[in-house]
Amino acid sequence: MVSLRSPLKIVLLGSIGVLMTVWVVENPQDSVVARLVTYDKVWGLLLQHFYLVGASALLAVVTSVPLGIALTRPRLKSWAPRVLALVNVCQTVPSLAVVALSVGFMGVGSRPAIIALWIYALLPILSNTLVGFQEVDPAITEAAHGMGMKAWRVLFRVELPMAASMIMAGIRTAVTITIGSAILAAFVGGGGMGNLIIAGNNISRAQVLVLGAALPVLMALMADLFFEGIEKRAKY
Amino acid sequence: MIRFENVVKRYPGEATDAVHNLNLEIESGTICMLVGPSGCGKTTTMKMINKLIRPSSGAILIGGRNIDTVDTIELRLSIGYIIQDTGLFPHMTVGENIAVVPGELGWKKDRISSRIDELLDLVDLNPKAFRNKKPNELSGGQKQRVGVARALAGDPPIMLMDEPFGALDPITRARMQDEFLRIQEKIRKTIVFVTHDVEEAIKMGDTIAVLKLGQIVQLSSPMEILSNPSDPFVSELIGGRNSLKMLSLMRCGQIMKTLSPAEVEEARGSPQGILGMKATAQDALSEMLRTGERFIFVEDERHDVVGVLDFENLLERVNRHGITS
């Protein structure tokens, strides 16, 4: 039943977002709000937000999953705690500072924002990948080797499927966090829903502020439900 | 045939050899039991056969070929491997588990599919009901059957079994042992079977290698081990009651006296105990004690009485082997 209920919840959350947008656009407080909030503009910012989150999460997946796999191979096993500690340290630096620092290297725009978000998405995926692989019973991988499976086949047909649900849980956490953090991109000209919040704050219009804050929250909740479904499906 | 020649294994940082100068020959089509307490080197010995562990020195030959000269993957694909708790892949169905080795061997899909059905039939599981189940939907005994089926999938001439029935309850274990022996009668594989359970070794083995501290202390048939334990360690391992255990190795059908039709007629209707041909002499003794008579009748599969077994017969059989301890 869970599988049926979560798409419903996702649709429900989505419609709340749509209704809020419609309400603000059709009943603006004043002409300033009417000019600032149009369907086109909200849609554009939403897409930008999506792009920021999608790009950084994808980058995080393609870096931390292979890294996690490498760090669970016998030869590199001893490096795992050190790498994990390093990523942990990166995580403790305030996100705004990372965003600001990356501007120093790459100038303004969406690129520094994506790099900053990527660094934040690394840790949950990496640590979950490590745990996922470490939890595979060594007796099972030994059986796989003993039966005559080649090393890469053991990895892809036995270990990876068994760790998949754990890895998905990491991706779920990373994406949900990133949706919230992506608001910061607005400070470096990266766009996204942060633009609405900053604008709403500058012109002191509650409608704009609330809409800009509510939409990312709804997005995060929807993403959480979506990835929860995938995570459950990945479970054996 | 599998042959160990002066095989030594010492793990790095250890002061003594895990396996010390081991020489062993295992005939094709027989079951060789490696038995001993934990840490005696039995599992290490077995894992050297499929190169999961490399010997420090010495050679292992299969069919006259040194396994060092054989490609590891090729070697392992020709050896069935079963471990305790079977090592079934939990994310794959029963059918997919069985299909692993045939898949690695590059068989065609329909050949693999019919092989899965054939093997599930062999281990007495209904293919239709079981091939799409996941391992966690199976009981311990069923998992073990699937484990056996998976190990047999590529039709390997050799099977390695590492305490395969160790995690089962005693009743299921006894049934699995019987069934495995029945399957072995059909398939005649060369089997290396590791166990710490001497009773299991006596029941299943054609030969038994008793290991202690990495060395073989006795290598002989179950009957010989029971009647002539080579040293106190082996006697202690067997744990006494040798004669009763010897009786458990004899089948009524093999040691009974055949009856003439007239005698059969006479026996009909008498209240004495009746056992099947495959019952052990131990069962016969128990039956005699129960009925208070000095003999029991033996019947064939059609429940016709064909022979008789008496107490003197049992006495003589056990004495012939001359218990020395």
* A4 has a pLDDT exceeding 70: no
- CATH value at residue A57: 1.10.3720.10
What pLDDT is attached to residue A33? 87
Residue A236 in tokens: 């054996």
CA atoms within 13 A on the CB side of B61: 11
Select the residue of B74, B76, B90 nearest A147 (Cβ to Cβ): B76
- Chain A positions in Cβ-Cβ contact with residue B79 (cut-off 8 Å): 146, 148
Beta B2-9 vs B57-62: how paired, if at all? antiparallel
- Chain B positions in Cβ-Cβ contact with residue A148 (cut-off 8 Å): 73-79, 101, 104
Cross-strand bridge partners of residue B7: B22
Instruction: Give the CA angle between residues A176, A179, A185 to the nearest 5°.
Output: 150
What pLDDT is attached to residue A29? 85
In this prediction, residues B230-239 reach a mean pLDDT of 82
Tens of pLDDT, residue by residue over B122-177, are: 998 999 999 999 999 999 889 999 999 999 999 999 999 999 988 888 888 888 89
* B211 has a pLDDT exceeding 60: yes
Question: How would residue A85 be classed by pLDDT, with cut points 50, 70 and 90?
Answer: confident
Domain hosting A22: range is 2-234
* B307 has a pLDDT exceeding 50: yes
Residue of B nearest to A137 (CA): B87
In this prediction, residues A188-216 reach a mean pLDDT of 90
* B268 has a pLDDT exceeding 60: yes
* Element (DSSP H or E) covering residue A48: helix A39-70
Neighbours of A47 (CB within 10 A): 12
In this prediction, residues A106-113 reach a mean pLDDT of 86
Contact criterion met (CB < 8 Å) for B77 and A148: yes
Tens of pLDDT, residue by residue over A158-185, are: 999 999 999 999 999 999 999 999 998 8
A226 or A77: which leads in pLDDT: A226
The total domain count for chain A is 1
CB–CB contacts below 8 A, A to B: 58
Average pLDDT score, chain A:
89
In this prediction, residues A54-58 reach a mean pLDDT of 95
- Nearest C-alpha neighbor of B80 from the set B105, B61, B59, B55: B105
The answer to whether B54 faces chain A, any CB pair under 8 Å, is no
CA distance B299 to A101: 91
Q: How far is B106 from chain A (nearest CA, A)?
A: 12
What pLDDT is attached to residue B323? 53
Question: How would residue B271 be classed by pLDDT, with cut points 50, 70 and 90?
Answer: low
Residue B123 in tokens: 């281990």
CA atoms within 13 A on the CB side of B10: 10
Phi, psi at residue B130, to the nearest 5°? Answer: -110, -25
Q: Give me the interface pTM, i.e. the ipTM.
A: 0.80
The residue behind tokens 């930008």 is A48
Least confident of A53-62, A202-211, B90-99: A202-211
What pLDDT is attached to residue B62? 94
* B254 has a pLDDT exceeding 90: no
Q: How far is A166 from chain B (nearest CA, A)?
A: 14
* B269 has a pLDDT exceeding 70: no
Task: Provide residues of A within 8 Å CB-CB of chain B.
Answer: 139-140, 142-150, 153, 157-158, 161-162, 236
Domains of chain B: 2-240 (3.40.50.300), 248-320 (3.90.1280.20)
What pLDDT is attached to residue B93? 95
Select the residue of B52, B75, B91 nearest A162 (Cβ to Cβ): B91
Least confident of A155-169, B215-229, B295-309: B295-309
CA distance B33 to B55: 20
- Chain A positions in Cβ-Cβ contact with residue B87 (cut-off 8 Å): 139-140, 142-144
What pLDDT is attached to residue B44? 93
Question: How would residue A1 be classed by pLDDT, with cut points 50, 70 and 90?
Answer: very low
Average pLDDT score, chain B:
88
- Sign of the C-alpha dihedral computed for residues B60, B62, B66 and B67 taken in this order: negative
* Element (DSSP H or E) covering residue A210: helix A206-234
Select the residue of B76, B104, B134 nearest A146 (Cβ to Cβ): B76
Residue of A nearest to B88 (CA): A140
The residue behind tokens 């390997």 is B156
Contact criterion met (CB < 8 Å) for B101 and A147: yes
In this prediction, residues B252-273 reach a mean pLDDT of 75
Contact criterion met (CB < 8 Å) for B100 and A147: yes
pTM recorded for the entire structure = 0.79
Question: How would residue B80 be classed by pLDDT, with cut points 50, 70 and 90?
Answer: very high
Least confident of A122-136, B251-265, B274-288: B251-265
Using CB atoms within 10 Å of the CB of residue B10, give its burial: 0 to 12 exposed, 13 to 18 middle, 19+ buried: middle
Select the residue of A146, A149, A162 nearest B90 (Cβ to Cβ): A162
Rounded alpha-carbon distances, angstroms, from residue A212 to A17, A201, A215: 10, 10, 6
Question: How would residue B266 be classed by pLDDT, with cut points 50, 70 and 90?
Answer: confident
Tens of pLDDT, residue by residue over A110-141, are: 888 898 899 889 889 999 999 999 999 999 99
* B101 has a pLDDT exceeding 90: yes
In this prediction, residues B276-304 reach a mean pLDDT of 82
Query: Measured in whole angstroms, how far is the alpha carbon of residue A129 from the centre of its chain?
Result: 15
What pLDDT is attached to residue B243? 74
In this prediction, residues A29-34 reach a mean pLDDT of 86
CA distance B226 to B220: 10
* B47 has a pLDDT exceeding 90: yes
Question: How would residue B324 be classed by pLDDT, with cut points 50, 70 and 90?
Answer: very low
Q: Where are the alpha helices (DSSP H) in A182-205?
A: 194-202
Query: Measured in whole angstroms, how far is the alpha carbon of residue A163 from the centre of its chain?
Result: 19
* DSSP reduced 3-state for B71: coil
B277 or B19: which leads in pLDDT: B19
Beta B31-35 vs B207-212: how paired, if at all? parallel
In this prediction, residues B261-266 reach a mean pLDDT of 75
Interface test with A, best of B43, B89, B94, B107 (most A CBs within 10 A): B89
Residue of B nearest to A162 (CA): B91
Beta B305-310 vs B295-299: how paired, if at all? antiparallel
- Chain B positions in Cβ-Cβ contact with residue A236 (cut-off 8 Å): 90-91, 134
B184 or B86: which leads in pLDDT: B184
Contact criterion met (CB < 8 Å) for A143 and B83: yes
What pLDDT is attached to residue B13? 87
* B204 has a pLDDT exceeding 80: yes
Using CB atoms within 10 Å of the CB of residue A53, give its burial: 0 to 12 exposed, 13 to 18 middle, 19+ buried: buried
Residue of A nearest to B137 (CA): A236
The answer to whether B157 faces chain A, any CB pair under 8 Å, is no
Cross-strand bridge partners of residue B35: B195, B210
Contact criterion met (CB < 8 Å) for A143 and B73: no
What pLDDT is attached to residue A2? 52
In this prediction, residues A43-48 reach a mean pLDDT of 93
